[in-house]
Structure formats: structure tokens, C-alpha cells
Structure 1
Amino acid sequence: MTQLTQTGIASLQLCFYGAGSMAEAIARGLINEKLLAAGQISMLNRHNQERLTELHTQYGVQTILQGSSNDAYIQQADIIFLAMKPKDAAEAVKAIKPLVSANQLVISVIAGLSIASIEQLLGASVPIVRAMPNTSSTIGLGATGISYSDRVTAQQRQLTEAIFQSVGITATVEEPLQSAITGVSGSGPAYVYYFMEAMMQAAGELGLEPGAAKELVVQTVLGAAQMVRETGEEPAELRRKVTSPNGTTQAAIEMMAEFRLTETIIKGMRRSAERAGELGAAIERSINE
């Protein structure tokens, strides 16, 4: 990151409209990486004051409980993150249209919500970024797919990439591929957790204590991912190297194949991508009702 970009971000006001887990992950990553001060980040939600208290206490971000209003935070922000639930998106985004101006940058992390829909809700003059990060952004290991509207400037692209690169890696994609990003990396951590749950359950059934089972599974998954990264080898090749003919690993892989694990994973990821499209279609319908 250049000094110019660092200075640019450090002077900005960021507002998260929506205070759920994704907004928290990004805000926490930005604060942990010292990209800007916590006091320059505001987080808003509709009614949950307990959640706002939690976020202010834990991170030092600003909320309505510190004396300002949601409207003021939105108007004063240089970058507005749309981070509400998809079912609330159309109504919520439409409500802030009078508060948003063309010199602000709007970044949406709402699954399925298209740039065209946001332009319809806010006006076509507003520069819009559509991003799909994942919750591993919380620890600086996120993966984010980013798409830009035509009105996003080169400097705003640089700022956007600096923000998301501070919490992981980024990939710039054409907007039609955002559903694929959702299916692969947006929802991806949950697939790994689900697999880990199954491994831990099996470990318990094999007689291991829960604590030991968790430690062994976590280290096994961490080590396997790091092997792929550090060796540069394909997962299929690494798998072949540890699968001895007629050995224990082959017995396990054959059982998993018999129950169509690969096919199930592929179908699940496709379904996630499809669901992102369905959410977007539902939002578009609600806009036009």
C-alpha cells in the first residue's frame, strides 16, 4: 500500500449501515490493521441497542448511543457500507437516498444485491462497489470478490482494494460472477466448519476427548491448507501422496466417494450461488412493487 493510500484512508469517515457479523468482521479488521482510528467508524442498526453497546465497548466505534444520529453518520461518511440483511435491503437503502450524495462511495456487501438495483434505489450518480467478503476478514484472512460501477474512480478503486486487502486477499471480477464468489468464498468458511464438525464428532465416537479432538482437527485443517499454499501443489496431488494403496486413507476416501462427498460439495456450492441470485431477484421485485 502506498503512503498516499494510507493517508487517504486514515482521513476518512466510514459508516456501516447494518451491524451484523460481516460489518463487524470488516470493521475489526480495519481497526486491527490500524488503517484508521475506531472513532472514525460508525455502525448503525434499526433497534438493537444492546448490539450497539457491545460494538462500541469492544472496538470503540461510534453509534447513536454516543450522541449523534443515524442520519448524521450517513451524511458525514466518506464511505457507506451497506451491510443489512438482504430481506431488509430495498426498504433500508431506499430510506437513505435523501442522505447520500455523489461524492460519497457506497460499498455493498449484501448477497445478491446488484449494482443496478442499488443505482435504482440511490440514483445512478452515486459510485457503487459490490463486494462479497467472508467472515475470515475478522482475522485478516478474508477473501473478497469486488465489482465496480462505471462511476467509481481510480482513487476509489484504490481505497476499496486497500480496505479489503487489509483484511485478506481480493479478486476483481465482472459483476455476473459475484454469485460464484458467494458460492465459493463468501459461504466457503461455513463448509469448512461443517466438515470440521463432522471430523470432531467422528473423533469423539472413536474415543478421543472433546478438547483433544478439537485441537487435532484444527491443526489438521490448518496444516493441510498451509501445505497447499507453501508447496504450490494441487490438492489432488497432495491427496494422492498421502493415499497409500490399500491403506487407511484410501479406505476413508473410498467410503466418502461411495457416499458422493464430492458431488454433494459441488451441489451445495452451486446451490449457494443460485440462492444469491434468488435473493437478488427478490430484492428487485420488492423495489418494483
Structure 2
Amino acid sequence: MTMHTAADSAAASASQNSQLQQLRFCFYGAGSMAEAVARGMTERKLCPPEGIGMFNRSGGPRLAELRSRYGLTTAETPEDKSRMLAEADVIILSMKPKDAEEAIRSVSSILREGQLIVSMIAGLSIRTIQALIGKRLPVVRTMPNTSCSIGLGATGISFSPDVSVEQRMIGEQLFRSVGLTVTVEENLLEAVTGVSGSGPAYLYYIMESMIKAGVELGLDSALSRELTVQTMLGAAEMMRVTGEEPAELRRQVTSPGGTTQAAIALMEEHEVGLHFRSGMKRSAERAADIGRELERSVLGDQHES
């Protein structure tokens, strides 16, 4: 497994940046994740805004908003969408999983040799994507998370065997522009989903409980929120800066018979850690379930053989 951070993109060679500048990108799907990556690309000047195209099923105000905000090229009509897809060097699949099968089949005849497919669709395997396209195009499969929208994302990346060294660089650069990337074998992307893909929601859930507890203890809700946010930020930064294991950092603030010890003991009694890990594993299992359902739908009897 290899790991890179957003800072690594600053060290990319001039020749690599020059190559990206010359490419045309097309996002099929205009949701928050597509916006996050497109914003990272423009802010880090990986690609001029006019080199980034985007469209979705419904069009309208959403595309107008993105066009105004980032200077992207958008497509509304079927003809413009087809042209944008045909002219793109890199196509980023960013539609919802439930729409993926129909959407990819509908444009498969437009896709051509030499194009790179980048997927941000949860659960959709490389094998299934290539079956839907009907051509063995190179595929970069990714599992980003919502923190990409503020440049602090965590993205797992896997590559089909068809992906060249230059295409790997393109896939990595796209997601380094919005945070940390880790390259893993495809069968580990479900684990990435369980840890970082769904991870922000777990932390929001904990923060929700912390804020409510603060209010129940008598704090004003705004003050409880502020203290919770800063505590979460400080704890994450402490772990990053010191390099210490979380168990050691916890030990340092847990005095025997003290306040923290009382809280941790109660949580241990209720097996909070065990349930938390079980929830994360369920997230990974659900990602695998979704993938199998999509694969059965697309490949049918081939899946069983």
C-alpha cells in the first residue's frame, strides 16, 4: 500500500502538470463529490476550468451554479453530453450507485479506446464497469469521502491492469488535490469504505452525542458545540503531530480514579468500542453487498462461473 497527502501534489514534476493541463476531463454526475474534486483541480491549477466538463441527468440550476462558481463547461442537451464524453481524455463516473448501470450502458457506445475511466461509485467493481462499457478501457476505481469538499479528504484508489503509469499518475493527482490518497488492492476498497468512506459520519455521530451531553450538563448549545469541535480538532492534530498511538494518548489523559477513567470505564462496561468496530465492519460488508448486487445485475450467470 502506498500513501500520499495533498502536500505531495506540490512536488509533482513540471512535466506531469503540463500533461494534465492538456487533458480534457468529463464528470458524469454533478453531486457534492464531483464538485469537490473539480474544485480541487481548479484551485491547485491541475487543469484550466475550461478543460473540465460536467453534466448530470437533470441539468438546470445545479449546472448553472457550478458553471458560475468554477468556470466549468457544462452540457444540457443529449448532443452536447455525447460530444463532451467523446472528446474527453478522462471520464469521471460520479453518479449515484442506483443510477450507474443504466447511465453507463447508455453511453457505452460513445466511449472509445484511449480514454481513462475514473469511478467514484461505491460498490461498483472494475470488472462490472468494464462489462457495462463493453470495452476493456483502463479503470481507476476510487473510494473518496465527504471531507474532500474542504480539501481534507481520504481516498482509497485501485487500478485495473490496463492502467498505464501515466494514467496512474492522473488518477492519483486528481485525488491528491483534495486530500490524502492510499493505493490498495481492489478487494480492500470495502475496508477503506468502512474506515474512511463512512468514517466522517461516525465522528459526526460522536460529536452529536458530545454536544447533547454538554447541553444536558448545563452548557449553552453553541458553547457545547464549539468545545466539541475544538476538542475533536485538537485530538486529531495531536495524534498527527506526535505520531503516538491513540491508546498511548488516551493513557496520558486517563488518571487512575479520575474523571476520564470514570467515563472510559462506563463505556467499556457497555462495550462501546466493540459496537463501534462492529458498525464499521457492517459498513464494509454493506459495500461488498452493494457490489455483489450490481455485479449480479450486470453479469448475470457470468458472476457464478
Cα distance in 2, alignment partners of residues 262 and 198 from structure 1: 15
Aligned length: 289
Deviations 1:263-289 (A, max 9, x none): 121111111111111111121222146
Report what 1:274 is aligned to.
Answer: 285
SS in 2 for 1:69: helix
Report what 1:96 is aligned to.
Answer: 107
Cα distance in 1, alignment partners of residues 70 and 79 from structure 2: 18
Report what 1:200 is aligned to.
Answer: 211
Could you tell me which runs of 5 or more consecutive residues in structure 1 were left unpaired when the two chains were aligned. none
Given candidates 143, 146, 149, the residue that maps to 1:135 is: 146
Cα distance in 2, alignment partners of residues 217 and 269 from structure 1: 22
Find runs of 4+ consecutive structure 1 residues off by over 4 angstroms. Answer: 65-68
Cα distance in 2, alignment partners of residues 4 and 66 from structure 1: 36
Given candidates 166, 177, 195, the residue that maps to 2:188 is: 177
**How many Å apart are 1:48 and its aligned residue?**
4.4
Report what 2:28 is aligned to.
Answer: 17
Deviations 1:116-156 (A, max 9, x none): 00111113431111111111112221111111111100011
Report what 1:144 is aligned to.
Answer: 155
**How many Å apart are 1:173 and its aligned residue?**
0.8
TM-score (norm 2): 0.90
Could you tell me which runs of 5 or more consecutive residues in structure 2 were left unpaired when the two chains were aligned. 1-11, 301-305
Cα distance in 1, alignment partners of residues 64 and 136 from structure 2: 35
Report what 1:246 is aligned to.
Answer: 257
SS in 2 for 1:192: helix
Report what 1:225 is aligned to.
Answer: 236
**How many Å apart are 1:114 and its aligned residue?**
0.5
- Residues 48 and 202 of structure 1: CA distance in aligned 2, closer, same or farther (over 3 Å): farther
**How many Å apart are 1:214 and its aligned residue?**
1.7
Report what 1:35 is aligned to.
Answer: 46
**How many Å apart are 1:67 and its aligned residue?**
11
Cα distance in 1, alignment partners of residues 140 and 133 from structure 2: 13
Q: Does the CA contact (< 8 Å) of 1:80 and 1:104 recur in 2? A: yes
**How many Å apart are 1:220 and its aligned residue?**
0.5
**Considering only aligned residues, what root-mean-square deviation do their CA atoms show, in Å?**
1.6
Deviations 1:161-187 (A, max 9, x none): 111112111111111111111111111
SS in 1 for 2:95: coil
Cα distance in 2, alignment partners of residues 141 and 286 from structure 1: 35
